[in-house]
Amino acid sequence: MKDLLLAIRREFLMALHDPRRLVFLFGAAVAYLIVFGLLYVPNIVKDVPCVVYDAEDSHFSRELVRDIESSDSMRAVLFVDSEEDMREALRQKQAYAAIEIPADFSRKVKTGQSAEVLYMANGANIILTNITSSAMQDILADFSDRFAAERTALRTGGDEELLQNMISPVHAHLRVLYNTTQGYMFFFLLGLAMVAFQQGILFAVGAAICGEYEQLRAGAGDWQGASWLLLVAKLVLYFALAMLSYLLVTVLVQYVFAIPLKAPLGTLLGLAAAFIVAAMSFGIFASAIFPCEMEFVRAIIMYPVPAFILSGYTWPQESMPAWLQRVAEAFPLSWFSNTVRELFLAGHSPRLAGDYQAFAVLTAVFLSLGAMLFCWRMRRYRRAADAER
């Protein structure tokens, strides 16, 4: 026990001597929270610029234009006199959606024919396309129902509201659970913070492991005890620091960015503890492969984007090819990021038990392999250092 405490003390002093490790652990996730939290402050996308070409320019067509302008999702910023000008506005990104009302719009509608309103969008950004297309469908449906009820009421003398219910008897009642405003901050921010948090763990642990190799190669290694004890000290210290970092992230998410934690704090921290151990094991294994820190950094810097995509946080894993799903299972983030979001927003997650089992398997595999590689490299560098003396 005394040797372990000495090893932990030594590791703590080395972390203070190399402040990058603390910056990685505490700075990465916090930086992502601040940068992307400010980006998603509006939380929802609205007032998407659109261009309108009203070829008819009648009282009837202007009613539809007013409905478009009153939408929260779209904002008419440009009115043009030809379809070519409308398309040019899309090409120049003066607007991201375009609506063309045909010259025979009111005649066709009032004579019982079908009138088509052209909607075009710049499909380069599918978020804006989805928002404006859904809004336009709702606007046209409401406009059609309202006009049909008005015309029928004029002809029959019936009650307009009753007729509108008869014309459109079924209405959708939207109820979104756990993210009622469908805000992008609630959807994205937690996942981005968890990616940065994982990367901070990997960089800190990698610097600690590779630092031992570099010391021995330089003949400056001062640890004479067992290599496995040194590894345990690193695990204990960086686990404690990572838990403090995660607590800081949790406080910022709740009290600065107002994302509520609906699950018990103990449940969230228990999952975080299992993830941290698995992520450290993954980092120990990865860093033990490479003989120097620069090679490790070059390799691990390519990891966060594939890990985030394959985690299923934005694109569901069920829609991925089966072989990619198997690859994703080897990444600790795949068993963490979605569950964190569910614990924050819903207060529970049906996958929680499976996540703990996956973390146990990943820890056992990566930690055992990483420990063997670490101890082998330490023995090798020590023998080389002793031979030079």
Q: What is the pLDDT of residues 361-377, one digit of tens each?
A: 999 999 999 999 998 88
- As a whole-number percent, the residues of the chain with pLDDT over 70 amount to 93
* DSSP code string of 265-286: HHHHHHHHHHHHHHHHHHHHHH
Q: 216 vs 74, which has greater pLDDT?
A: 74
Tell me the longest C-alpha to C-alpha distance in the chain. Answer: 107
Q: What is the mean pLDDT of residues 210-215?
A: 84
Provide the pLDDT confidence category of residue 16 given band limits of 50, 70 and 90.
Answer: confident
Q: Provide the pLDDT for residue 154.
A: 65
More confident residue, 144 or 242: 242
pLDDT beyond 70 at 146: yes
Over residues 374-386, the pLDDT tens digits come to: 988 888 878 876 6
**pLDDT at residue 181 above 90?**
no
Taking Cα atoms as reference points, which of 118, 125, 122 lies closest to residue 82? 118
Least confident of 70-79, 134-143, 173-182, 204-213: 173-182
Q: Are 29 and 196 in contact (CB under 8 A)?
A: yes
For the chain, give the mean pLDDT. Answer: 88
Q: Of the given ranges (79-83, 165-169, 231-235), which has the lowest mean pLDDT?
A: 165-169
Q: Is 273 exposed, middle or buried (0-12, 13-18, 19+ CB in 10 A)?
A: middle
Give the count of beta carbons closer than 10 Å to the beta carbon of residue 215.
Answer: 16
Architecture category of domain 48-167 in CATH: 3-Layer(aba) Sandwich (3.40)
**Residue 263 has what pLDDT?**
95
Residue span(s) of the chain under CATH 3.40.1710.10 come to 48-167
Dist CA 135 CA 133 (whole Å): 5
Dist. CA 278–CA 309, nearest whole Å: 19
Each residue's pLDDT tens digit, 306-322 = 999 999 998 889 889 99
Banded model confidence at residue 169, pLDDT cuts 50, 70, 90? low
Q: What is the pLDDT, as a whole number, of residue 165? A: 63
Q: Is 152's pLDDT higher than 80?
A: no
pLDDT at 308: 93
pLDDT above 70 for 13: yes
* Average of per-residue pLDDT across 206-234: 82
Show the tokens assigned to 196.
């940065």
What is the model's pLDDT at position 379?
A: 86
- Per-residue pLDDT band for 108 (boundaries 50, 70, 90) equals confident
**What amino acid occupies position 358?**
A
Q: What is the mean pLDDT of residues 24-39?
A: 89
CB 241 within 8 A of CB 44: no
| pTM as predicted | 0.83
Question: Given a cut of 70, is residue 125 above it in pLDDT?
Answer: yes
Residue 74 is classified by DSSP as E
266: nearest Cα among 291, 289, 247: 247
**pLDDT attached to residue 369:** 95
CB 216 within 8 A of CB 382: yes
Q: Is the pLDDT of residue 350 over 70?
A: yes
Question: What is the tens place of the pLDDT at every residue in 269-326?
Answer: 999 999 999 999 999 999 888 878 888 888 888 999 999 999 999 888 988 999 999 9
Residue 127, pLDDT above cutoff 70: yes
Instruction: Give the pLDDT of residue 313.
Output: 92
